[in-house]
Chains A and B, each alone.
Chain A
Amino acid sequence: MAHIWPIGGGKGGSGKSFLASSMGRLLAKSGKKTLLIDLDLGAANLHTMVDVPYPEKCFSDFIARKVADLHDAVLPTPFPNLFLISGAHDSLDIANLPYEKKIKTLRAIAKLDYDYIVLDLGAGTAYNTLDFFLASRNGIFITTPEPTSIENVYRLMRAIYLRRIRHYFSANDFKALEKKVREHLGDDSFNKPENIVAVIRKEFPDKYALIRKDFSSFRFKLILNQLRKQDNTALGEQICKIIKKHLGIGVEFAGNIAYDEHVHDAICQRVCFLDRYPHTRAANDLRVLNRKMSNAFGEQLTLDYL
C-alpha cells in the first residue's frame, strides 16, 4: 500500500502546495512512483506548481462519475514518476463533499497503486479536510513563523484532535460528554479538546485508554516554512513541546524551510524550484526534510472509523 502524506496548515500561503509539489518532485526523482492529489477544492492550484497548466481531467470527474475509477482521473506531469489528480475545475468546495463521496474517495485512494500519495488539503478545518488529514497516521502540519499562521495551525491541530476523539463516542454519549465538560469547566470549554480529554480521563477511563493508544500510534509532523534569518530556529521544537504538554499529542518537529525569494521566481516562471534553484538553502532544507520523512512512517491508512 502507498505511503500517504496528508499536508495541512493555515490559510494564506503557509506553503502547503509548495511543500506538496516539492515532496512529490523529490520522491519521484528518487524513483518512487508518486501521486499528488489536490484536495484544496475551490482553490486548487497544485497543477500550476507541477507545470500542468491545462488539466484535462480532475477530481470532480470522479465525484460526478464522469470517470468510473479514481485512477482514470490521474494525469501525468512533465516529471517522470510524478502524477497528479488535479482539483481544478472544481466548483465544489471540499466542505460540501457529501459523506458517501468522501468515504468512496478514501476507499479509492487506498486502492491506488503508488509508492507515495501526497494530499494537498487546503486551509481550514472543515470536517472533510480533517477526515482526509486523519486518513493516514503521517499527517504533516505546516506553518510559517507568523502569529496568524501559528494561530491557524493550532486551531487545525485542536480540530483534528477533537474530530478523532469524536469517533469514540456515539452521538448521544458525545452530547452527554459535552454537558459534563461544560458543567465541570464552563461554557466555552468545549472548543478545547484538552478539556474534553481531562473529563474523559475521569469519567470514561477505558475510552481514555483507547484514545491514548490511538494517538500514540500517529506520527504527526510539523514543518516551519519561510524562516528568515532573524527568526527563532527553535520555534518548531517549542511548539511541539507546548502541544505535548498541554494537548497531550505527540507531533514530531520535522524541520525548517528557509525563506527564499527564488521560490516566488520559480513559481512565476512555472518551473520547479528544486530544479531551477537546487543550490539554495531552501532547496537543501527540502531535500533534508524529504530524506528524514521518508525514513519515518506510521500506519498508512486508518479507515477503521469509516
Chain B
Amino acid sequence: MEKDFDQMNYYEILDIRPGATAVEIRSAYNAALQMYQPESLVSYSFFSREERKKILAQLEKAYSTLINEAQRIQYDHELNPRGIAGIIETDETAKKPVAIFDMNRQATNFAARKNHNAELKAKIAQSRIIADVIARQNIKGQDLKAIRNELGVTMEAIHQETKIRLDYLTYLEEDKIEKLPAAVFLKGFIRAYLKSLCIEPADDISTRYMNGLTPKN
C-alpha cells in the first residue's frame, strides 16, 4: 500500500485528477458511494463497521469540499501553497491515484503548462506595467486586470486554470467585492488568480489586496 486511506488527499480519495470538473467530481463520488456504502456487495466484509463509517465520512468531506468552488480553492491552497498547478507539477504522491485516468493527457498538460509558465515569466520580467503594479502598496481589481491584459491572458483561461467561476472573476476585477463569497475565500481567489499568471510573491500581494479592502467588506 503506497499510502493509508486516511492520509490520502481528497483527490486521491475520489480517484480524480487535481483539475477535475464538477461533473467528474460528482460521478466519482457516486461511484465511490456504490463501493463503500453499507449495503454494497463490492466491499462486503472487507471493512469493519468503524472503518466503513470513517471512510464514508472522509468521502463525504472530500466531496462537499471539492464540489464547493470556494472551499476547493481554499483546500487546494492548504494542500499545496503553490496552487493547483503546483499539485500537478510537484506532488509525487498526488500523481499516483491519477494513474487510472488519462495519464497522457496529464503529461501533455504538464508540458504545455510548463511552457506557458516560462512564457509568462519572460513577459513579466520585461513589463514595466507589471513591475509597477507589484511594487504598489495598495492593489485593486483593476490592477489585477491590468496585469492580465498585459500578459494577454483571457479571463476564460484563468477560469480554466483556477476553477474560479467566471462571474466571480469579473467581480474581482471590477472590485464588486460585495458580490463575492466571504473574505476567507477571497484571499484564496486572489492568490490562485496571481499564481495562474505566475505573479510572485502571490501571498504578499494578496495580503496587500486584502488590507486595502474597506472594513465593511
State which of B1-9, B123-131, B136-144 sits at the interface with chain A. B1-9
Q: How far is A9 from B203 in the complex, measured between Cα atoms in Å?
A: 56
A246 close to B (CB within 8 Å):
yes
A232 close to B (CB within 8 Å):
yes
- Cross-chain contact B2 with A246 (CB below 8 angstroms): no
Provided the pairs A198-B1, A198-B4, A201-B1 are in contact, do residues A150 and B44 lie with their beta carbons within 8 angstroms? yes
Of B1, B44, B47, B97, which is within 8 A of A147 by CB? B44
Size of interface on B: residues with Cβ below 8 Å to A: 15
Q: How far is A17 from B154 in the complex, measured between Cα atoms in Å?
A: 64
User: Which among A155, A235, A245 has the highest number of chain B CB atoms within 10 Å?
Assistant: A245
A42 close to B (CB within 8 Å):
no
State which of A19-27, A88-96, A123-131, A236-244 sits at the interface with chain B. A236-244
- Cross-chain contact A238 with B35 (CB below 8 angstroms): yes
Give min CB distance, A237 to chain B, whole Å: 9
Give min CB distance, B95 to chain A, whole Å: 15
Task: Give B8's nearest chain A residue, CB to CB.
Answer: A245
- Cross-chain contact B42 with A147 (CB below 8 angstroms): no
- Cross-chain contact B1 with A154 (CB below 8 angstroms): no
- Cross-chain contact A248 with B2 (CB below 8 angstroms): yes
Q: How far is A150 from B45 in the complex, measured between Cα atoms in Å?
A: 8
A125-180, CB < 8 A from B: 145, 147, 150-151, 154-155
- Cross-chain contact A246 with B46 (CB below 8 angstroms): yes
0/1 string, B64-98, CB within 8 A of A gives 1: 00000000000000000000000000000000010
A44 close to B (CB within 8 Å):
no
Q: How far is A150 from B42 in the complex, measured between Cα atoms in Å?
A: 8
B166 close to A (CB within 8 Å):
no
- Cross-chain contact A235 with B42 (CB below 8 angstroms): yes
**Residues of chain A lying within 8 A (CB to CB) of residue B1:** 194, 197-198, 201, 246-248
- Cross-chain contact B42 with A239 (CB below 8 angstroms): yes
Q: How far is A295 from B34 in the complex, measured between Cα atoms in Å?
A: 32
- Cross-chain contact B41 with A150 (CB below 8 angstroms): yes
0/1 string, B28-48, CB within 8 A of A gives 1: 000000110000011111110
0/1 string, A222-256, CB within 8 A of B gives 1: 00000000001001001101100111100000000
Of A145, A241, A247, which is within 8 A of B41 by CB? A145
Q: How far is A245 from B43 in the complex, measured between Cα atoms in Å?
A: 12
**Residues of chain B lying within 8 A (CB to CB) of residue A155:** 45
Chain A interface, DSSP helix/strand/loop, else mixed: helix
User: Which among B4, B15, B45, B46 has the highest number of chain A CB atoms within 10 Å?
Assistant: B46
Give min CB distance, A229 to chain B, whole Å: 16
Q: How far is A247 from B3 in the complex, measured between Cα atoms in Å?
A: 10
Q: How far is A298 from B79 in the complex, measured between Cα atoms in Å?
A: 38
Provided the pairs A194-B1, A198-B1 are in contact, do residues A235 and B46 lie with their beta carbons within 8 angstroms? no
Q: How far is A248 from B3 in the complex, measured between Cα atoms in Å?
A: 8
Task: Give B12's nearest chain A residue, CB to CB.
Answer: A245
Provided the pairs A241-B35, A242-B35 are in contact, do residues A151 and B45 lie with their beta carbons within 8 angstroms? yes
Q: How far is A219 from B74 in the complex, measured between Cα atoms in Å?
A: 41
Q: How far is A246 from B15 in the complex, measured between Cα atoms in Å?
A: 13
**Residues of chain A lying within 8 A (CB to CB) of residue B34:** 238
**Residues of chain B lying within 8 A (CB to CB) of residue A151:** 44-45
- Cross-chain contact A235 with B44 (CB below 8 angstroms): no
**Residues of chain A lying within 8 A (CB to CB) of residue B44:** 147, 150-151
Provided the pairs A151-B44, A238-B35, A238-B42 are in contact, do residues A245 and B4 lie with their beta carbons within 8 angstroms? no
B96-144, CB < 8 A from A: 97
- Cross-chain contact B41 with A154 (CB below 8 angstroms): no
Q: How far is A238 from B34 in the complex, measured between Cα atoms in Å?
A: 9
Provided the pairs A238-B35, A241-B35 are in contact, do residues A246 and B5 lie with their beta carbons within 8 angstroms? yes
User: Which among B4, B34, B47 has the highest number of chain A CB atoms within 10 Å?
Assistant: B4
**Residues of chain A lying within 8 A (CB to CB) of residue B2:** 248
Task: Give A231's nearest chain B residue, CB to CB.
Answer: B41
**Residues of chain B lying within 8 A (CB to CB) of residue A238:** 34-35, 42
- Cross-chain contact B42 with A154 (CB below 8 angstroms): no
Residues on B lying within 8 angstroms of A by beta carbon are 1-2, 4-5, 15, 34-35, 41-47, 97
Extra 8 A-B pairs, beta carbons < 8 Å, given A238-B35, A245-B5, A246-B47: A151-B45, A197-B1, A235-B42, A241-B15, A242-B42, A242-B43, A242-B46, A248-B1
- 12 A-B residue pairs with CB within 8 Å: A150-B45, A154-B45, A198-B1, A201-B1, A232-B41, A235-B41, A235-B42, A241-B35, A242-B35, A245-B5, A245-B97, A248-B1
Residues on A lying within 8 angstroms of B by beta carbon are 145, 147, 150-151, 154-155, 194, 197-198, 201, 232, 235, 238-239, 241-242, 245-248
Closest 3 CB pairs of A and B: A248-B1, A151-B45, A238-B42
